[in-house]
């Protein structure tokens, strides 16, 4: 199946002309996190196909693309970027979605030099929220720190508005991804008065016996869980083994997919996670993709089993934001023409995707409103909490925004430190 998917994507890109909008996709469909990548990139590509079929592209400019397998490996991610950027003329690949914090860090300087947007939706370097220092990097929708803060707010709401005197374990993937929210959680613990216990798990995370024995000894009120790939199902099974309630565990959005819950079986029931997109086919655009794209036999998968899953819908969400940025760039710089990397950068920095626009796209409730600026490349900062009922994810909260007044100054301080190290003079780019 994977070979067929890769062949289709590559063949489609060969049809690209100077009048197409070429999208580089340094993706991963094999390796320890391949199942996650399959769902995300399948959803992303299906939405591009959908826009081509429904609208003929954006103002007549169709999307083409090519995937390059990174295996979630930093070096291969850089190789794929270099290989693909020369195939797309002035667009340099339009907008990169590498779905990897490590690859994002490796490409940060390169993409800025090449003037192509690096889109880090729910991952990546979070102080890139400050566009005066990171003009071509966009940690869109929400960041790890704001997610962690929102999870803390959710837990406080469950406890009458206060976590004072509580104990929270932060169990995390021992990588750049897992370490990103630590500063935010430490700041929250000081303000909210809870004890924070940090416990790392070595990659890939299929050995967690010692960590869960420690959790049993600590007897925390809650576990905030920053897992990825096989680490997630392993954690849920280990929690069951030591008798820790899964309804006291809240995972990150990369630890809250069907790929995580289904393999854990009964051990997953009651487990909660954050998410910035919903699951299911009740979202009109998801149902219409199934009808239009798969009905015509042009889906990225041989069947529709992935449609409506969390990561598939997340890929669709990422593609929606990319297409809307392309649409906005054409509005400003000329309709009916492919846009450049620099023009896409302007569009990503001036997004205003309202609920009314999401409704018009058929994406009602799929993701939160997004409004960006030079000062705020995040655009939202909101999550929902979902819970696994044994067969599916069920939303159990409204949109929750992290503590922006606490978290965004952390971004700013980190960005200014980076600017000092790199001898960058922070400044917003002119439109």
Q: What is the pLDDT of residues 95-124, one digit of tens each?
A: 999 999 899 999 999 999 999 999 999 999
Q: What is the mean pLDDT of residues 326-351?
A: 97
Beta pairing class for 352-353 and 382-388: unpaired
Pairwise CA distance, residues 280 & 332, whole Å: 35
How many Cβ atoms sit within 10 Å of the Cβ of residue 335?
13
The answer on 95 and 9 residing in a single domain is yes
Using the 3D structure, point to which of 275, 309, 326 is the last residue of a domain.
275
Sign of CA dihedral 108, 112, 116, 118: positive
What CATH number is associated with residue 300? 3.40.50.2300
The answer on 149 and 264 residing in a single domain is yes
Beta pairing class for 222-226 and 167-173: parallel
The answer on 122 and 256 residing in a single domain is no
Q: What is the 3-state secondary structure (H, E, C) of 98-134?
A: CCCHHHHHHHHHHHHHHCCCEECCCCCCHHHHCCCCC
The answer on 310 and 217 residing in a single domain is no
Q: What is the pLDDT of residues 155-185, one digit of tens each?
A: 999 999 999 999 999 999 998 889 989 999 9
* Token pair listed for 193: 């008065």
Using the 3D structure, point to which of 254, 275, 296 is the last residue of a domain.
275
Residue 131 counted as domain residue: yes
Q: What is the mean pLDDT of residues 390-399?
A: 97
The answer on 85 and 16 residing in a single domain is yes
The answer on 285 and 137 residing in a single domain is yes
Q: What is the pLDDT of residues 222-240, one digit of tens each?
A: 999 999 999 999 999 999 9
pLDDT given at position 32: 82
The answer on 153 and 109 residing in a single domain is no
Residue 403 counted as domain residue: no
Number of separate domains in the chain: 2
Residue 399 counted as domain residue: no
Question: 53: domain range?
Answer: 2-142+280-381+411-422
The answer on 297 and 254 residing in a single domain is no
The answer on 254 and 366 residing in a single domain is no
Instruction: Please choose, from the candidates 333, 412, 346, 342, the residue with its C-alpha nearest in 3D space to the C-alpha of residue 127.
Output: 412
Residue 391 counted as domain residue: no
Helix (H, G, I), strand (E, B), or coil: what is residue 376? coil
The answer on 418 and 299 residing in a single domain is yes
Residue 243 counted as domain residue: yes
The answer on 161 and 137 residing in a single domain is no
Q: State the pTM of this model.
A: 0.93
Pairwise CA distance, residues 354 & 163, whole Å: 33
Residue 431 counted as domain residue: no
- Assess contact for 397 and 114: CB atoms under 8 A: no
The answer on 230 and 151 residing in a single domain is yes
């Amino acid at each position: 199946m994977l070979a067929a998917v890769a062949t289709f994507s590559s063949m489609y890109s060969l049809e690209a002309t100077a009048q197409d909008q070429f999208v580089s996709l340094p993706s991963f469909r094999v390796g320890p996190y391949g199942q996650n990548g399959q769902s995300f990139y399948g959803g992303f590509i299906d939405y591009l196909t959908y826009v081509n079929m429904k609208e003929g592209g954006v103002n007549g400019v169709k999307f083409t693309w090519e995937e390059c397998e990174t295996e979630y490996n930093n070096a291969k991610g850089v190789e794929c970027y270099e290989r693909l950027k020369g195939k797309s003329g002035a667009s340099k690949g339009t907008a990169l979605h590498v779905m990897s914090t490590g690859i994002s860090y490796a490409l940060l300087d390169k993409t800025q030099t090449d003037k192509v947007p690096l889109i880090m939706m729910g991952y990546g370097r979070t102080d890139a929220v400050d566009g005066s220092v990171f003009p071509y990097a966009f940690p869109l929708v929400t960041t790890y720190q704001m997610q962690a803060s929102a999870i803390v707010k959710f837990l406080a709401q469950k406890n009458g508005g206060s976590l004072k005197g509580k104990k929270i374990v932060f169990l995390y993937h021992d990588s750049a991804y897992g370490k990103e929210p630590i500063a935010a959680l430490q700041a929250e613990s000081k303000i909210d008065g809870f004890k924070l216990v940090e416990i790392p798990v070595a990659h890939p995370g299929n050995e967690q016996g010692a960590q869960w024995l420690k959790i049993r000894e600590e007897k925390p009120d809650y576990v905030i869980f920053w897992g990825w790939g096989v680490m997630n199902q392993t954690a849920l099974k280990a929690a069951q083994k030591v008798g820790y309630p899964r309804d006291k565990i809240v995972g990150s959005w990369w630890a809250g997919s069907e790929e995580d819950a289904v393999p854990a079986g009964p051990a997953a029931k009651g487990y909660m996670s954050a998410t910035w997109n919903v699951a299911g086919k009740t979202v009109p655009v998801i149902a219409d993709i199934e009808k239009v794209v798969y009905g015509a036999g042009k889906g990225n998968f041989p069947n529709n089993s992935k449609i409506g899953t969390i990561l598939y819908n997340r890929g669709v969400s990422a593609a929606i934001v990319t297409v809307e940025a392309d649409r906005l760039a054409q509005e400003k710089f000329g309709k009916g023409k492919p846009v450049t990397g620099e023009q896409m950068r302007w569009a990503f920095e001036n997004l205003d995707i309202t609920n009314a626009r999401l409704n018009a796209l058929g994406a009602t409730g799929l993701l939160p409103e997004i409004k960006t600026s030079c000062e705020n490349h995040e655009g939202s900062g909101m999550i929902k909490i979902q819970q696994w009922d044994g067969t599916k994810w069920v939303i159990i909260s409204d949109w929750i925004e992290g503590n922006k007044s606490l978290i965004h100054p952390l971004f700013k301080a980190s960005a200014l430190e980076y600017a000092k190290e790199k001898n960058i003079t922070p400044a917003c780019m002119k439109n």
